[in-house]
A and B are shown apart, each in its own frame.
Chain A
Amino acid sequence: MSETCIIVGASHAGAQLAASLRQEGWTGRILMLGDEPHLPYNRPPLSKGYMSGEKTFQDILIRHEDAYNRHNIELRLGVTVAAIDRAAKKVVLADGERLAYDKLALCTGARVRRLPNADQENVLYLRTLNDLERIRAHAGEGRRAVVIGGGYIGLETAAALRKFGTKVTVVEAAPRVLARVTAPEMSTFYQRVHAEEGVTIITGARIAGLRGTPRAEAVNFEGGAEIEADFFVVGIGVLPNTELAEAAGLRVDDGIVTDEYARTDDPDIVAAGDCTVHPVKDYGTCRLESVSNAVEQAKAAAATICGKEKPDQSLPWFWSDQFDLKLQMAGLNTDYDRMVLRGDPAEGRSFAAFYLRQGAVIAVDCVNRPSEFVLSKKLIMQRRVIDPAMLADESRPFKEVAA
């Protein structure tokens, strides 16, 4: 009798997992359940090329609809999963329908952290296509936006909104933008470029609340200052969707706990993507919010379901597009003890920042330096100890330095 694999979640991890199951030889039924009404789509362009109108929805689909049909991957979109009955091996939908599984994959992703007491109609978030459509409806020439949160989502949104001629102010609670993820040198660079592109950035901003209802009219700061705007975009991080797993008795610790094979503590349940916390090779246990993590974990998960062992040992990497800046990052910079710059972030828009620990490169941020990015991935994976002066020496091609 044919077995059924149910995938809860239809974004990057779920879509890859379904494809990888077929590639690994799974001949049983594959049923993907998505809470959004849309076919699986690439999320990163929402704050990049799709927001600014360079791409259409067809362009950002992960796969066309006919591809799912051809590979016999069933999609049920716009459905909410209410519970997992592990004893009966059934997924329970919000309307009470019960779907039997032999193998279950949890790819439930993450949701935006919401600003408390801010339910006004022009307070917007950015995670889904519907969120993006709402932002686009507000954007336009001469409109005023306040972006709350100076992380990658906030800065990318600010950059995309500038293309509409929208006046943008970014407010960030920390003393610098990107404080959670990158070095002060990078923050200084991004603050300079945003200023050059007409974005106002206010750091160290303690928000007291939003004034106005049903539409917010201004953001109020502690101390009494305020900034008026036509709309507000909040980008203050995400929370992993772990409630289903937790209610089903699976181990959860700021993410569904998995091993490098994407296994949970139930042999019939795997998990992948933003919703998981898992061992990342060379960096310890982490929860990563990235497409590459979702894709690589999903491949491991599919292999596990098919009875194979293909651990995820991939190097984490991330990217961010803002204005004419193509930022590519590899590795995790936690606990770096030295930074080496190749190129000058104080001038121009092209450089690489290497994060070293005990002489070895553990991470890199590359701005408009695709060659350094590709070559550094190898350096990082090898944990190569390399002379900092060589890394910084622009008179030699990086290919020679990394050889």
Chain B
Amino acid sequence: MTKIIFIGQDGSETQVEAHLGDTVMQTAVDNLISGISAECGGGCSCATCHVVVDETWIAEVGPAEDVEKDLLESLDNFSPNSRLCCQIEVTRSLDGLRVSIPA
């Protein structure tokens, strides 16, 4: 199992176990993480699964591209480490990943 740490809008940390091959969005939804609505179910259509990847992890996770990048850059709370977490697949190399949910 792979651990992922979600940092909520209030700064609280929730550590959860993720299934390999799931998306980080699915992991958040399965664990009732507040602030991840994931309305389009992972279709990269709604931008309601926005997270900011911890600085120490962004190189491993990689940057947003194409549609995801366009959606993110139009959000008020965009930051250089922003990702839609429906587009991040859980792999072994992401064990310990930290992402925060922007206000």
Contacts and interface: CB of A to CB of B under 8 A. Distances in A.
Interface of A: 19, 22-23, 42, 44-45, 48-49, 59-60, 62-64, 66-67, 70-71, 291-292, 295, 317, 319, 321, 326, 328, 370-371, 373-375, 378, 398-399
Interface residues of B, number: 23
A371 B74 contact: yes
B29 interface: yes
A328 B42 CA distance: 14
B58 to A, nearest CB: 21
Given A62-B41, A319-B43, A319-B46, A370 B31 contact: no
B3 interface: no
Contacts of B34: 23
B75 A319 contact: no
Contacts of B47: 374
Given A370-B67, A371-B71, A399-B74, A23 B32 contact: yes
18 contacts: A22-B32, A44-B40, A44-B41, A44-B43, A45-B41, A59-B42, A63-B30, A70-B31, A291-B40, A292-B46, A295-B39, A321-B43, A328-B45, A370-B70, A370-B74, A374-B47, A375-B74, A399-B74
A354 to B, nearest CB: 15
B39 A45 contact: no
Nearest to A19: B32
B12 to A, nearest CB: 13
B37 interface: yes
Contact of B29 (A22, A63, A399): A63
B43 A45 contact: yes
Name the prevailing secondary structure of the A interface residues.
helix
Interface string B2-21: 00000000000000000100
**Chain A CB within 10 Å — which of B32, B37, B46, B70 has the most?**
B32
B95 interface: no
A374 B74 contact: yes
Main secondary structure of the interface of B (DSSP, over half): loop
A10 to B, nearest CB: 15
Contacts of B26: 64
Contacts of A371: 70-71, 73-74
A317 B71 CA distance: 15
Contacts of B74: 370-371, 373-375, 398-399
A337 to B, nearest CB: 27
A374 to B, nearest CB: 4
Contact of B71 (A59, A70, A374, A378): A374
A317 B48 CA distance: 12
Nearest to A317: B46
Contacts of A64: 19, 26, 30
Contacts of B29: 19, 62-63, 67
* Residue among A19, A370, A378 with the highest chain B CB neighbour number at 10 A: A370
B11 to A, nearest CB: 17
B30 A67 contact: yes
